[in-house]
Structure 1
Amino acid sequence: AYKITDECIACGSCADQCPVEAISEGSIYEIDEALCTDCGACADQCPVEAIVPED
């Protein structure tokens, strides 16, 4: 799964790209690990590179 770091600027770009709607809005957006399919679309879209793969 991917995670959203504190670098998140809550722009919403990632949520629009998620094919399984695993990203929820907030001051820092969150990815639901149970829904995430590791497609990477969100990370590719993030303008501040705040989305990284989980270790």
Structure 2
Amino acid sequence: MMIIVTHEIRFAKNVSDRVVFVDKGAILEQGTPQEVIDHPQTARVQEFPSKMALK
């Protein structure tokens, strides 16, 4: 197991089998990259990829 902290969404999506989205020390979402990155459930996680120019 390896833990990597990154703001690089594409990198996280390509190399991880689990993603944890943390904001201000609180876990907002966790799951597979497809669950968290492709289908986020919370407003904060939904807005993050567009700010990071993922799409």
| TM-score bracket, shorter-length normalisation | under 0.3
Richer in helix (by share)? 2
Q: Which has the higher contact order (CA 8 A, sep 6+)?
A: 1
Query: What is the TM-score when the length of structure 2 is the normalising length?
Result: 0.26
Query: What is the TM-score when the length of structure 1 is the normalising length?
Result: 0.26
User: Which of the two has higher C-alpha Rg?
Assistant: 2
